[in-house]
């Protein structure tokens, strides 16, 4: 095993530092490439034998150097040729006439949780519409009771539900231990909040975890108590969930079939590269075994959790290199919690402070500023890319200050540190991120799923209007990406595009029209920019000869559709490494 120690106070070696091209250099390379005609001529195509030739008037390459394109040839796992259909002289086993349909680069998931999605597909679905059916505490309890009965779960076995959302439950509160004791006192029950930053439990689950009235709150977490009592009320925040998640969400319970089902879920939404951010090394072992045995139909990037300050690569595994479609791409850190759960770390108090907390409550960090600076310094110095969760603007300050201090001590060229979610990042912070090379990845789907809640309860109208401030990033020329954070919400890329360009909430109100972005830029955020974020611009993100044949066919050209009509679009085909992994016109994978 290769072990990198990043304990606080250590001085990490610099010999393993990754040598990265700068963002400026990348832009210059594209500019140079655009100076000449990169389209193969007729003679070039005459020598080609393609597996598939896609032909149509709505081919979006996102590569300015190729000019207008009406045909794309795929040979094996590679895009072999792009150009004018009239110039094609090669042979093709299959010709796909697109007609009114559009061909684009495959969508790239810039932040998500493959293994968590795989687990949730077999757990009780407690989400509100349109994802689930829970609208109040009573319907939540009924779903759990039905789940236990239908699966004939024996007393003593864990019962787990996911996706409950206190902001959309009629009572606007979390279910507590009394609610869940009414479902069962014989089964330990744990319900994972939609944000995955809180959990509701019954008395049996608390006993299993050893959580009692004398159990102290762990650093970076809270055990919510009954009113005027130290007795746990059943709701756990952040690190307080740790003991329980280890009891029922271990990677040893995952199967190849569950992973396959999760990859199918991504593929039906046009995703060709997925992530498991906050993965474990045990998960890497499982995925590596699946990849070597039956293969992974989509590329998978892993970001193992690095909160303990260590980063261990299994023997023979290289950072940033694929093996059988699986790559260890960096590490994941968390600085705060969830805005919809009101645990995100803000610089100003919440608009409506949770019951029982002081008026000045503004959330909290999950680690100290000193610890975050030490970890970020050491990972940067050792060339390990980071995805860093920061929802609140106070957490964003922690991240930005840590990167600034680290590069001042040891300059690092183009580290591409990613601020995950960046929900409440301010303009002055975006300015500093641009200088420091920090990439924001916006959870833009929040505008729809929790926009009303943010406006009315979490942030208030002014701050809520600029959640996921993609337009502000665009104005600065700061590259950004978009993500769904599946399974927090489904990996529906078209709804994500709709949310970023239209910004409509569940109630039908527009939240922050000034932060709308053009469709072209939203598409680039999940293709071109997404590939750049993970150092894959040389193989993904555009329809360019020589790049990997990751493609998606949509029912119409998204550039020709008004943002509010985007939800009528459909993914008709998803192609990963030249192989069709989803065919919507034929009923699925």
pLDDT one-digit tens code per residue, 163-173: 899 989 999 99
pLDDT of 7: 42
Q: Is the pLDDT of residue 251 over 70?
A: no
Element (H, E) at 388: strand 386-390
CA–CA separation, 485 and 505 (whole Å): 18
Contact (Cβ atoms closer than 8 angstroms) between residue 266 and residue 294: no
pLDDT of 552: 98
Average pLDDT for residues 476-487, to the nearest whole number?
Answer: 96
Average pLDDT for residues 244-265, to the nearest whole number?
Answer: 80
SS in 3 state form for 119-152?
HHCCCEECCCCCCCCCCCHHHHHHHHHHHHHHHC
Contact (Cβ atoms closer than 8 angstroms) between residue 179 and residue 205: no
CA–CA separation, 390 and 14 (whole Å): 27
pLDDT one-digit tens code per residue, 526-580: 999 999 999 999 999 999 999 999 999 999 999 999 888 899 999 999 999 999 9
pLDDT of 249: 63
When pLDDT is cut at 50, 70 and 90, the band that residue 22 belongs to is: very low
With a CB cutoff of 8 Å and minimum separation 6, the contacts of 508 are none
Average pLDDT for residues 132-152, to the nearest whole number?
Answer: 96
Average pLDDT for residues 479-503, to the nearest whole number?
Answer: 96
When pLDDT is cut at 50, 70 and 90, the band that residue 21 belongs to is: very low
pLDDT one-digit tens code per residue, 181-236: 999 999 999 999 888 888 999 999 999 999 999 999 999 899 999 988 999 999 99
Q: What is the mean pLDDT of the chain?
A: 90
pLDDT of 240: 92
SS in 3 state form for 503-535?
CECCCCCECCHHHCCCHHHHHHHCCHHHHHHCC
pLDDT of 250: 57
Q: Is the pLDDT of residue 589 over 80?
A: no
Q: Give the DSSP per-residue string, 152-207.
A: TPPTTS-EEEEEE-TTTSTT-S---HHHHHHH-SSS-EEEEETTSSEEEE-HHHHH
pLDDT of 457: 96
pLDDT of 67: 80
Q: 3-state class of 574 per DSSP?
A: strand
pLDDT of 394: 98
Strand order in the sheet with 571-576: 102-105, 551-554, 571-576, 579-583
Residues in the chain: 589
When pLDDT is cut at 50, 70 and 90, the band that residue 131 belongs to is: confident
Element (H, E) at 82: strand 78-83
pLDDT of 189: 95
Q: 3-state class of 340 per DSSP?
A: coil
pLDDT of 63: 95
When pLDDT is cut at 50, 70 and 90, the band that residue 6 belongs to is: very low
pLDDT of 15: 30
Q: Is the pLDDT of residue 5 over 70?
A: no
Domains and CATH numbers, the chain: 134-249 (3.10.310.70)
pLDDT of 252: 58
Average pLDDT for residues 66-85, to the nearest whole number?
Answer: 95
pLDDT one-digit tens code per residue, 376-405: 999 999 999 999 999 999 999 999 999 999
pLDDT of 409: 87
Longest dimension (CA), the chain: 82
């Amino acid at each position: 095993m290769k072990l990198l120690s990043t304990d606080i106070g250590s001085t990490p070696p610099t010999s393993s530092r990754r040598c990265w091209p700068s963002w400026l250099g990348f832009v210059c390379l594209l500019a140079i490439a655009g100076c000449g005609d990169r389209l193969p001529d007729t003679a070039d195509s005459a020598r080609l034998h393609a597996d598939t030739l896609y032909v149509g008037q709505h081919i979006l390459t996102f590569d300015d150097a190729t000019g207008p394109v009406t045909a794309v040839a795929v040979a094996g796992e590679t895009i072999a040729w792009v150009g004018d259909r009239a110039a094609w002289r090669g042979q093709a086993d299959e010709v796909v006439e697109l007609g009114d349909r559009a061909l684009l680069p495959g969508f790239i998931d810039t932040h998500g949780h493959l293994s968590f999605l795989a687990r949730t597909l077999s757990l009780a679905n407690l989400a509100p519409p349109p994802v689930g059916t829970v609208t109040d505490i009573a319907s939540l309890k009924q779903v759990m009771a039905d789940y236990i009965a239908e699966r004939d779960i024996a007393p003593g076995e864990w019962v787990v539900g996911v996706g409950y959302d206190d902001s959309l439950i009629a009572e606007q509160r979390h279910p507590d231990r009394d609610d869940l004791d009414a479902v069962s006192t014989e089964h330990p029950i744990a319900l994972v909040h939609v944000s995955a930053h809180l959990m509701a439990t019954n008395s049996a689950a608390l006993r299993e975890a050893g959580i009692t009235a004398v159990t102290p709150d762990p650093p970076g977490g809270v055990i919510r108590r009954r009113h005027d009592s130290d007795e746990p009320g059943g709701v756990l925040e952040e690190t307080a969930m740790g003991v329980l998640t280890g009891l029922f969400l271990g990677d040893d319970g995952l199967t190849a079939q569950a992973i396959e089902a999760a990859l199918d879920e991504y593929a039906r939404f046009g995703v060709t590269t997925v992530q498991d951010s906050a993965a474990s090394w045990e998960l890497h072992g499982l995925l590596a075994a699946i990849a070597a045995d039956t293969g992974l139909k989509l590329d998978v990037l892993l970001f193992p959790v690095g909160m303990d300050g260590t980063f261990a690569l299994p023997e023979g595994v290289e950072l940033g290199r694929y093996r059988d479609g699986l790559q260890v791409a960096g590490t994941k850190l968390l600085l705060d919690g969830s805005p919809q759960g009101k645990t995100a770390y803000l610089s100003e108090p919440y608009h409506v402070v949770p019951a029982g907390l002081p008026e000045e409550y503004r959330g909290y960090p999950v680690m100290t500023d000193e610890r975050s600076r030490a970890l970020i310094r050491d990972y940067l110095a050792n060339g390990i890319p980071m995805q860093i969760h920061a929802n609140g603007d106070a957490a964003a300050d922690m991240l930005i200050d840590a990167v600034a201090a680290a590069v001042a001590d040891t300059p690092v060229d183009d580290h591409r540190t990613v601020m995950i979610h960046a929900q409440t990042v301010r303009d002055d912070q975006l300015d500093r991120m641009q200088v420091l090379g920090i990439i924001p990845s916006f959870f833009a789907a929040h505008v729809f799923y929790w926009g009303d809640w943010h406006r009315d309860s979490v942030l208030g109208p002014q701050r809520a209007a600029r959640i996921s401030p993609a337009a502000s990033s665009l104005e600065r020329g700061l590259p950004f990406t978009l993500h769904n954070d599946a399974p927090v919400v489904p990996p529906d890329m078209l709804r994500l595009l709709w949310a970023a360009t239209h910004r409509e909430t569940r109630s039908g109100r527009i939240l922050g029209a000034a932060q709308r972005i053009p469709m072209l830029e939203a598409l680039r955020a999940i293709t071109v920019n997404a590939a750049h974020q993970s150092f894959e611009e040389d193989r993904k993100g555009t329809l360019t000869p020589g790049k990997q044949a990751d493609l998606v066919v949509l029912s119409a050209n998204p550039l020709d559709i008004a943002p509010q009509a985007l939800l009528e679009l459909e993914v008709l085909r998803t192609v990963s490494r030249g192989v069709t992994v989803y065919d919507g016109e034929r009923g699925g994978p």
